[in-house]
A and B are shown apart, each in its own frame.
Chain A
Amino acid sequence: MTQHTPLWEVFVRARRGLSHTHVGSLHAPDAALALRNARDLYTRRQEGVSIWVVPAGAITASSPDEKDAFFDPAADKVYRHPTFYEVPDGVAHL
Chain B
Amino acid sequence: MYGNDFSAPNGTPDEAPGGLLGEVEAAEAELRAAAARGRRGGPAPDEDLAAYFAEVVDAEQKIEPRDWMPDAYRRTLIRQIAQHAHSEIIGMQPEGNWISRAPSLKRKAILLAKVQDEAGHGLYLYAAAETLGISRDELVQLLLDGRQKYSSIFNYPTLSWADVGAIGWLVDGAAIVNQVPLCRCSYGPYARAMIRVCKEESFHQRQGYEILHTLAHGTPAQQAMAQDAVDRWWYPSLAMFGPPDGDSTHSAQSMAWKIKRFSNDDLRQRFVDMCVQQAEILGLRIPDADLRWNDERQAYDYTQPDYDELMQVISGDGPCNRERMAHRRAAHADGTWVREAAAAYAAKRAGQKETVAA
Question: Which A positions have Cβ atoms within 8 angstroms of B?
Answer: 1-5, 7, 24-30, 33, 40-41, 44-45, 61, 63-68, 71
Contact = CB atoms under 8 A, between A and B. Distances in A.
Contacts of A61: 66
Question: 8 closest pairs, A vs B, by CB?
Answer: A67-B41, A30-B346, A29-B346, A67-B42, A68-B41, A29-B342, A2-B339, A1-B137
Contact of B127 (A2, A25, A29, A68): A25
B267 to A, nearest CB: 27
Interface residues of B, number: 32
B108 to A, nearest CB: 17
Contacts of B342: 28-30, 33
A64 B343 CA distance: 34
B84 to A, nearest CB: 15
B127 A65 contact: no
B120 A64 contact: no
Contact of A68 (B42, B68, B116): B42
Contact of B68 (A29, A45, A65): A65
Given A30-B345, A68-B44, A24 B124 contact: yes
B136 interface: yes
Contacts of B137: 1, 4
Given A5-B339, A7-B130, A64-B64, A71 B124 contact: no
A65 B66 contact: yes
B339 A65 contact: no
A2 B335 CA distance: 10
B339 A25 contact: no
Interface in B338-354: 339-340, 342-343, 345-346, 349-350
11 contacts: A3-B343, A7-B130, A25-B130, A26-B127, A28-B342, A29-B346, A40-B120, A64-B42, A64-B66, A65-B42, A68-B41
Interface in B34-67: 40-44, 64, 66-67
Interface string B97-117: 000000000000000010011
B314 interface: no
A44 to B, nearest CB: 7
Given A24-B193, A25-B130, A64 B116 contact: no
Interface in B173-229: 193, 200
Contact of A29 (B64, B193, B343): B343
A2 B349 CA distance: 17
A77 B44 CA distance: 21
B123 interface: yes
A8 B340 CA distance: 18
B249 interface: no
Nearest to A71: B41
B336 interface: yes
A62 B67 CA distance: 12
Contacts of B193: 24
Contacts of B350: 30
Nearest to B123: A41
A69 to B, nearest CB: 8
Contacts of A3: 343
Contacts of A4: 135, 137
B325 interface: no
B41 A1 contact: no
Contacts of B42: 63-68
Nearest to A7: B130
B117 A1 contact: no
A29 B345 contact: yes
Given A7-B130, A44-B117, A65 B43 contact: yes
Given A25-B127, A30-B349, A41-B120, A5 B343 contact: yes
Residue of B41, B64, B124, B140 contacting most chain A CB atoms (<10 Å): B41
Contacts of A24: 124, 127, 193
Contact of B340 (A2, A65, A66): A2
